[in-house]
Amino acid sequence: MRRVLRILLIAGLLLTAAGTVPETARVEAAPSRALVQFPVYSPSMHRTVMNNVLPAPGGGKAPVLYLLHGAGGGSDHIGWEWNTRYREFFRNKDVTVVSPVGGAGSFYTDWRSRDRKLGLNKWQTYLTRELPAAVNRHFGGNGRNAIAGVSMSGGPAIDLAARAPRLYRAAASYSGCPAQALGFPAVMGTVIGQGGNPLNMWTPSDYVVHDPVLNAARLRGTAIYISAGDAGLELPVRACSDASAAALRAQGIRVTSDGLRGAHSWDVFEGGLRQSWRVIGPAIGA
């Protein structure tokens, strides 16, 4: 375990050197499932959040996958809906896919304080209480859920599953860094890159509380998937992903991980999504 922690520390330092990694874009062609815009009022954030939803094709009750965006939160029109063929991938799969739009630089967590630039962020509350309740009412969720994130939201996706173990049966990180405590300089850099103040997000102790590697017991029974590429600025992300997977396995958590070919790009992100389905699909019965 001590050796794994040393690896995680090195990975965190590498992520700091990499800084905020850009997400290269690719435009989707010929989408295969209708995308529904679903506004949900968040009492905790005092605003309405728009969510892009791919309803399950069967029309009845179905599992739900909450698929989070990267550093821009999708408000910049960079995300699954615009840069991948995910509609084609999910065309015949019995699952409702939900992507909230917003949360740039938020790490999809509950912030300690309102931020002058990024506003009031209570994304953990939204994603574990408010949004699932609304999705279940309007789209017929059957109670079997998974959550996945990319880049900025990779680690938070696994943390959210740890925060709400009865809600999410599976969680995935695509080109993210689940070991958030040791990668905290990169976390802070991402928040600053979006114009926010990281001191409004977490205190130093919160980085420990929200690190799923340091709170692995909360993930027992949850199917975990982690992937990253192998080129360019993706290298420190790969180091952190591999070390996080090893640390979780050392604590008895069921983890499936893949090393993919490529840089920090939507080709690699989408590749991770497709590979992860062998873990997520069976976990939620989709």
Tens digits of residue pLDDT in 136-165: 999 999 999 999 999 999 999 999 999 999
Where do the DSSP E strands lie in the chain?
36-42, 47-54, 62-67, 96-101, 141-150, 168-174, 223-228, 255-259
Instruction: Find out whether 186 and 125 touch, Cβ atoms under 8 Å.
Output: no
Where do the DSSP E strands lie in 229-284?
255-259
Asked whether residue 183 carries a pLDDT value surpassing 50, the answer given is yes
Among 82-96, 151-165, 177-191, 221-235, name the one with the lowest average pLDDT. 177-191
Asked whether residue 2 carries a pLDDT value surpassing 90, the answer given is no
**46 φ, ψ (degrees, to nearest 5):** 55, 40
Q: Specify burial of residue 224 (Cβ count, 10 A radius: 0-12, 13-18, 19+).
A: buried
Looking at residue 34, its pLDDT comes to: 85
Tokens describing residue 285? 């019965």
Closest CA to 238 of 1, 84, 21, 3: 21
Asked whether residue 171 carries a pLDDT value surpassing 50, the answer given is yes
Domain architecture of the chain: domains with CATH: 2-284 (3.40.50.1820)
User: What pTM was computed for the model?
Assistant: 0.91
Buried b (16+ CB within 10 A) or exposed e, 239-250: bbbbbbbbbbee
Report the interhelical angle of 2-18 vs 234-250 (nearest 10°): 160
Across the strands, what pairs with 62? Answer: 141
3-state secondary structure of 85: coil
Angle at 45 between CA 22 and CA 83, to 5 degrees: 30
Across the strands, what pairs with 110? Answer: 122
CA dist., res. 249 & res. 242, Å (int): 11
Looking at residue 60, its pLDDT comes to: 80
> For the chain, give me the number of helices (H) and strands (E)?
10, 8
For the segment 69-78, what is each residue's pLDDT rounded down to a tens digit? Answer: 999 999 999 9
Q: Which helix (H) or strand (E) holds 192?
A: helix 184-193
